[in-house]
Amino acid sequence: MRCMDIRKVVQVLEQTAREILTLLQSVHQPSGFKEIPSKCQKARELFCTVRTHLGELKTKFPVDQYYRFHEHWRFVLQRLAFLAAFVVYLESESLVTREEVAQILGIEVVREKGFHLDVEDYLAGVLIMASELSRLAVNSVTAGDYSRPLRISNFINELDSGFRLLNLKNDPLRKRYDGLKYDVKKIEEVVYDLSIRGLSKELEAGGDK
């Protein structure tokens, strides 16, 4: 009975997550690059709905049994963490903190305080964003933005070093992390293509200042 209730709310959450994703996907189109701020604004509005539904989800089970039903919302929570991280990256080109994600989703960071964002789910969300950024690097070149791939490259490299600090077990997070090197490689290729053609000169001048 309780599982049914949880599943229903999770389905609605998945629907909203798909809507946000569709909205953000348009940044990959040439015309979308100019509209990044307005897209982010719209996405943030949709996160209000997410907060409402997550608030509803909290009421469906006792607070101290989070991990009993964790598997039900784990997937969607990772997607939402990814979407929040992506929005924050597009806005400020920085890595979203776990606290920020929790704030955007209207949940807690620490388990003791209630419905929270598990650290592994946050990290999984960040990894999903990494592969989205490698795609963005490719498309920004197509759209004529040659400086963005370099900034993405720096960002992903830092992320990669960060993940290398972790002692991951043989778990799903580890599997996800193993995919990060392909994203790193892809972005490196883009940066290489740009630099060998002198297309990144503009940026180097900008980077010096």
Partner 1 sequence: LSARGEGYPRRMKTSQKTDDRDTGANLTSPVMAAFKVFQQELDTKHDKHERLVKLSRDITIESKRTIFLLHRVTSVPDVEEVLTEADLKLDGVRLNIRMIAEELRGEDLHQFHRAFTPGIQEYVEAVSFHHFIRHRTLISLEEINTKLVFVKEPEDTPEGQQPMGTPQVLTFQVTPTDYLLGVADLTGELMRMCISSVGNGDMDTPFQVSMFLRQIHDGFSYIGNTGPYEVSKKLHTLRQSLSKVEDACYTLKVRGSEIPKHMLADVFSSRTAMMDQDEGMA
- Binding positions for Mg(2+) are 132
164, burial (CB in 10 Å: exposed 0-12, middle 13-18, buried 19+): exposed
Q: Please tell me whether residue 94 binds partner 1 under the rule CB under 8 A.
A: yes
Of 45, 64, 93, 202, the residue at the interface with partner 1 (CB under 8 A) is: 64
Q: Which is nearer to partner 1, 47 or 115 (CB)?
A: 115
Q: Which is nearer to partner 1, 12 or 66 (CB)?
A: 66
Closest CA to 159 of 107, 106, 89: 89
Q: CA–CA separation, 64 vs 73, rounded Å? A: 16
Q: In whole angstroms, how large is the CA radius of gyration of the chain?
A: 18
Q: Please tell me whether residue 202 binds partner 1 under the rule CB under 8 A.
A: no
Torsions phi, psi of 116, nearest 5? -130, 175
Q: CA–CA separation, 171 vs 43, rounded Å? A: 31
Q: Please tell me whether residue 65 binds partner 1 under the rule CB under 8 A.
A: yes
Q: How many residues bind partner 1 (CB under 8 A)?
A: 32
- Binding residues (CB under 8 A) for partner 1: these are 64-68, 70, 94-95, 97-98, 111-112, 119-120, 123, 154, 157-159, 161-163, 165-169, 184-185, 188-189, 192
